[in-house]
Structure 1
Amino acid sequence: MKRFLILLPILFLTGFAQAANNPKSGTDSLRRFFNEVNSFSARFSQVVLDERHSPIQESSGTLWIERPNKFRWDYDKPYKQQIVADGKRLWVYDVGLQQVTVRALSNGLGDTPAMLLAGKGRLDDNFKIKALSTQNDLEWVQLTPKHKDSGYEDIRIGFALGKLRALEMVDGFGHVTRVTLESPRENIRIESTRFSFTPPEGVDVVGE
């Protein structure tokens, strides 16, 4: 099976508003998360669909986020992989291949969901935001990157009662990465070691 590094996914694991907040729209929920949520964790399941919307990969795992610029994305199925951003560098560890790739966090991520999720700043600087119609009991928001090097043509986020329930990212090849979240927690204390990474002894390290 071809391995996909989906920096994600890394993506949009946006938080869950309390029902009492009664957000008016998916756009309100998105902005609330971006402005008020500083840490987040959840279980995730992820499927990649080809241009015909046929599944070509399924995976699952756990993620943690702490602003600014720290996240960890641990895949446990179908193979083990860790993606860790420590605030300065991005580490990708493929356990099966015994290989680690490292690069500066700012290189190549641009306006990806990863940086939207863990970064600080104004959404409108990097994305065009548009409220979409309600489908399957979800209020959808569309984010279109303003810069062409983001890696994604289109990002759609679905909320139910202010809670993020779905995330879809469309790349330039028409492939769709669809992510769903379970057991989300926001503004929690996360151990600092969660966002540090030391390559295990004996593995190949490629990059900066």
Structure 2
Amino acid sequence: MMLAVLFMAGSMADAGDVKQVLDLDGQQTVQQRESGDFFKKSINRMAALPGFQCHFDQMMVFTDGGGQRYAGELAVLKPKRFRWQYAEPYEQFYVSDGNGIWHYEPDLMQAERLDNLESVDPAVMKLLDGRITPADLQVLRHESDAKLEIRRYQVRIKGSEPVWLGFSRTGDLILIERDDVLG
């Protein structure tokens, strides 16, 4: 399974009001129901995986128009074990054995032990680790790109800022996009 992770930073001043557009349990149009079913199946499928390994690309876009590209490999073995390795623009690792998280930067020859996932990105890590169910998500917006065959859902994971999740036509998570409050 291939997973590309894309985080984008933007200005919170540009953020608009959002409301839930997919009522996952209430009355819906056929199109909303099919989209909601696809979303639920995709999230449940991801939660059921024992683990996965993939390449990722991460792009940070700044409000001044600049940006920074990151790339690397991610391996997740549930529960709470992962290796998040950045190869570009410089090498660094986040590794967890399920009890703690280590961050290592070879260029600086420094390692630090992190106490919890809040130091990384708790909402995204919970999603990737399968600890998020459809009941934990509030769908705020939905978009489809027929040409690229991607379905995008803006969701709020309990206790966090909204993120965009993009799924391929087969239900594989291929995109995670979030705005950073720093802009």
Give the superposition deviation at 1:137.
2.6
| Counterpart among 144, 161, 165 of residue 157 in structure 1 | 165
Counterpart of 1:25 (choices 30, 38, 45) is 38
SS in structure 2 opposite 1:114? helix
Paired position in structure 1 for 2:139: 129
Unaligned runs of 5+ in 1: 1-8, 12-22, 175-208
Q: Show the counterpart of 1:166.
A: 175
Judge conservation of contact 2:6–2:57 (CA < 8 Å) in 1.
Answer: no
Check 1:81–1:109 CA distance in 2 against 1; reply closer, same or farther (3 A cut). Answer: closer
CA contact 1:140–1:159 (8 Å) conserved in 2: yes
Bigger drift between 134-143 and 41-50 goes to 134-143
8 Å Cα contact 1:26-1:131 kept in structure 2: no
RMSD over aligned Cα atoms: 2.7
Residue of structure 1 in register with 2:158 after alignment:
146
> Does the 8 Å contact 1:82/1:94 carry over to 2?
yes
Residue pairs, 1:176-187, within 5 angstroms: none
CA 121–167 in structure 1, closer or farther in 2 if over 3 Å, else same: closer
Larger strand percent: 1
Deviation at 1:107, TM superposition (A): 5.5
Residue 76 in structure 1 maps to residue 84 in structure 2: no
Does the 8 Å CA contact 2:152/2:167 hold for their aligned counterparts? yes
In 1, Cα distance between equivalents of 2:124 and 2:39 = 17
Whole-Å Cα distance in 1 between the matches of residues 121 and 174 of structure 2? 25
Q: 1:130 to 1:37 in 2, by over 3 A?
A: farther
The equivalent of 1:20 in structure 2 is none
Q: Which letter does structure 2 place at the counterpart of 1:165?
A: I
Match of residue 87 from structure 1:
98
| Matched residue SS, 2:128 | helix
SS at match of 2:44: helix
Which has a greater percent of helix?
2
Distance 1:74 1:140 in 2: 26
Q: CA deviation at 1:143?
A: 2.0
Measure the CA separation in 1 of the matches of 2:90 and 2:58: 13
Aligned runs of 1:181-200 on 2, under 5 Å? none
Q: Distance in 2 between matches of 1:25 and 1:168?
A: 19
Any conservation in 2 of the 1:45–1:60 contact (CA below 8 Å)? yes
Conserved in 1, the CA contact under 8 Å of 2:53 and 2:74? yes
1:111 Cα offset (Å): 4.0
Kindly report which structure 2 residues correspond to 1:2-21, keeping only aligned pairs within 5 A, or say none: none
How does the TM-score come out when normalised to structure 1?
Answer: 0.61
Structure 2: give runs of 5+ residues left out of the alignment.
8-34
Whether the 8 Å CA contact 2:6–2:56 is kept in 1: the answer is no
Provide runs of 4+ in structure 1 moved above 6 Å: none
Offset, 1:108? 4.8
How far has the Cα of 1:133 moved from its partner? 1.9
Q: 1:108 to 1:124 in 2, by over 3 A?
A: farther
